[in-house]
């Protein structure tokens, strides 16, 4: 922190933009929290404004976190629209210029020291406005392959922050000089889980291996169906905590109620994991889940043996690309469209539980991809560009 003058820090005004999904929103929030923590010893509180869509996830997260929020209009141009989406493309084509004008007015009024963008179509207007006013613009990409919005904005960014070295190949050669691999920011509490607390929370047996199955906050019906088909076999070898999502919670509770007594005691199903998630991740021997950017960032930072089942229609096929990269390095088991069957899920779980050495090797390989200090790295780049670095 000594690299930055007190005067420089006192004048730090930051606009952050990005949202639409948790994958864009939560890295932004983690970065803001890390920035505040880093500056706290100096007595400086940065001025922060979050710009996003009024009804987007980012608006809810900003309000919950006490971050001032400004909404702008934006639109999404779908590259391969089906007939029902053609009209939405036309409507959004008229909304985009309005959003750009709102963004220009916001940047002109705030005159930020720096703009941080974490992706999503809402980031485009603010990114272009930052370029117009010569404001340093830091772009962060969470996935291995750059999304369409970030491919556009990389051309005007001061710094392009990437989550994985392989992402460099997705940038034009002339832009690679301003790219820095920082990793994907994850919440500090994820790294501070207590295994004993995670087991105790659900009344689990410390002597029995734990498999955590999750489809993310909304659940994943594909994963739920696969697990249901093999649950008794799996429970004969381990205990399972299953985050199934709100849509399937009633059905999964019925599945749980039909389990024989000796297996029922080993299965816990919830719609959503809250503050207990870090402790459960710490306790888990194996994690089964999607391969979204946030999930993978957490699992690799923790060095977890995992079975990844990519969401088959993720934008740009990003989840399959991520899972394939990890699997090729021995850092995960990947169950793709052709291999994502109940039988293969059962076999993969049994294989990892039966072979501690393989599980440990996979965890070590995953850790080599992890960047638990990603938020610190992103904050360092933000401060560097505002100081002219």
The pLDDT tens digits for 246-303 are 899 999 999 999 999 889 999 999 999 999 999 999 999 999 999 999 999 999 999 9
* CB atoms closer than 10 angstroms to residue 147: 20
CATH number for the domain formed by residue range(s) 6-186+372-386: 3.40.50.2000
Residue 77, pLDDT above cutoff 60? no
Give residue 94's pLDDT: 60
Give residue 388's pLDDT: 81
The pLDDT tens digits for 52-62 are 999 989 999 99
CATH topology agreement for domains 6-186+372-386 and 189-369: yes
Cβ 303 vs Cβ 376: under 8 Å: no
Residue 31, pLDDT above cutoff 80? yes
Q: How far apart are CA 194 and CA 359, in angstroms?
A: 20
Give residue 23's pLDDT: 86
Residue 110, pLDDT above cutoff 60? yes
Give residue 237's pLDDT: 96
pLDDT band per the 50, 70, 90 thresholds, residue 215: confident
Give the percent of the chain with pLDDT over 90: 75
Task: Tell me the domain boundaries of the chain.
Answer: 6-186+372-386, 189-369
Give residue 75's pLDDT: 61
- Which of 343-357 are b and which e, b meaning 16 or more Cβ less than 10 Å from the residue's Cβ? ebbbebbbebbeeee
Give residue 79's pLDDT: 52
What count of Cα atoms within 13 Å lies in the side-chain half-sphere of residue 334?
23
Name the more confident of 257 and 313: 257
- Mean pLDDT lowest among 93-102, 247-256, 304-313, 363-372: 93-102
The pLDDT tens digits for 336-363 are 989 999 999 999 999 999 999 999 999 9
Average pLDDT over residues 165-184: 93
Residue 76, pLDDT above cutoff 70? no
Mean pLDDT score of the chain: 91
Q: How far apart are CA 127 and CA 384, in angstroms?
A: 18
What count of Cα atoms within 13 Å lies in the side-chain half-sphere of residue 104?
8
pTM for the predicted model, two decimal places: 0.90
Give residue 306's pLDDT: 98
Residue 73, pLDDT above cutoff 90? no
pLDDT band per the 50, 70, 90 thresholds, residue 88: low
Name the more confident of 33 and 262: 33
Q: How far apart are CA 297 and CA 317, in angstroms?
A: 17
The pLDDT tens digits for 222-234 are 999 999 999 999 9
Residue 150, pLDDT above cutoff 70? yes
CA distances to 22, 190, 242, 297, 340 from 280, rounded to whole Å, are 20, 10, 11, 16, 24
* CB atoms closer than 10 angstroms to residue 318: 21
Q: Select the CATH number that applies to the domain covering 189-369 from these four: 3.90.10.10, 3.40.47.10, 3.20.20.70, 3.40.50.2000.
A: 3.40.50.2000
């Amino acid at each position: 922190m000594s690299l930055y003058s007190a005067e420089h820090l006192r004048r730090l005004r930051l606009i952050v933009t990005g949202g639409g999904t948790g994958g864009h929103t939560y890295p932004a929030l983690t970065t803001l929290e890390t920035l505040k923590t880093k500056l706290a010893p100096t007595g400086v509180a940065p001025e922060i404004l979050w710009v996003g869509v009024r009804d987007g996830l980012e608006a809810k997260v900003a309000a919950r976190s006490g971050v001032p929020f400004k909404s702008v209009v934006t639109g999404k141009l779908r590259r391969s629209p089906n007939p029902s989406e053609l009209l939405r493309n036309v409507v959004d084509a008229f909304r985009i210029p309005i959003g750009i004008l709102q963004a220009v007015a916001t940047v002109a009024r705030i005159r930020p020291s720096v703009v941080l963008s974490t992706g999503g179509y809402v980031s485009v207007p603010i990114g272009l406005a930052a370029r117009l006013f010569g404001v340093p613009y830091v772009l962060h990409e969470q996935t291995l392959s750059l999304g369409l919005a970030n491919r556009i904005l990389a051309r005007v960014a001061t710094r392009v922050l990437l989550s994985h070295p392989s992402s460099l190949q997705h940038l034009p050669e002339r832009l690679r000089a301003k790219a820095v691999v920082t990793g994907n920011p994850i919440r500090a509490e994820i790294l501070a889980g207590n295994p004993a607390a995670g087991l105790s929370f659900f009344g689990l047996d410390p002597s029995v291996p734990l498999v955590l199955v999750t489809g993310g906050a909304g659940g994943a019906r594909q994963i739920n169906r696969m697990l249901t088909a093999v649950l008794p076999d799996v429970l004969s070898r381990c205990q399972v905590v299953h985050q199934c999502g709100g849509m399937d919670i009633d059905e999964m509770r019925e599945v749980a109620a039909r389990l024989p007594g000796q297996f029922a005691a080993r299965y816990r199903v919830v719609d959503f994991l809250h503050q207990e998630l870090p402790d459960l991740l710490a306790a888990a021997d194996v994690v089964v889940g999607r391969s979204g950017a946030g999930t993978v960032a957490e699992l690799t930072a923790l060095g977890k043996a995992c079975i990844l089942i990519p969401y088959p229609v993720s934008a740009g096929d990003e989840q399959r690309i991520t899972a394939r990269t990890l699997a090729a390095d021995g850092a995960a088991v990947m169950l793709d469209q052709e291999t994502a069957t109940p039988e293969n899920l059962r076999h993969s779980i049994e294989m990892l539980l039966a072979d501690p050495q393989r599980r440990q090797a996979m965890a070590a390989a995953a850790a080599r991809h992890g960047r638990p200090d990603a938020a610190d790295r992103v904050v360092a780049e933000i401060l560097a560009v505002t100081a002219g670095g």
